[in-house]
Structure formats: C-alpha cells, structure tokens
Amino acid sequence: MTIRELKKYLLEHRGDRAAFEAFMDRLDAQPQGELHGEVDAEQFRQLLEAHRHT
C-alpha cells in the first residue's frame, strides 16, 4: 500500500491504531522532501489528534 493509499484508509478508519502506526513508520522512513507532496498538514493534524486520545 502506498503512503497515499494508507493515508486515505486512515481517514476512513481513524480508529485503526495499527494502520496509524504503520503510517507513521512509513512517514519516518521517507526523505523530508518527499513528504510534503503526500501529506496535507491539516489532515495530518487531525490524525494526530484522533490518535492522541486512543
């Protein structure tokens, strides 16, 4: 699954902790220049907020 597909899945399944952790691991592994095209800052903030309370 690509980062884009994983992000889409997470936005539809916000309670999936394993998918969230996989997404974060994938983001961590990406060079910084590649992240900005893949991740919308507001959606990323929403994901972090949603999982901060789980």
- pLDDT digits over 45-54, tens only? 888 888 887 6
Cα 19 from chain centroid (whole Å): 8
Q: What pTM was computed for the model?
A: 0.56
Per-residue confidence (pLDDT) for residue 36, from 0 to 100: 52
> Residue 54 is inside which H or E element, if any?
none
Which residue, chain included where needed, has tokens 């539809």?
12
Q: Render pLDDT for 18-37 as a digit per residue (tens, 0 to 9).
A: 999 999 999 888 776 655 55
Cα 43 from chain centroid (whole Å): 8
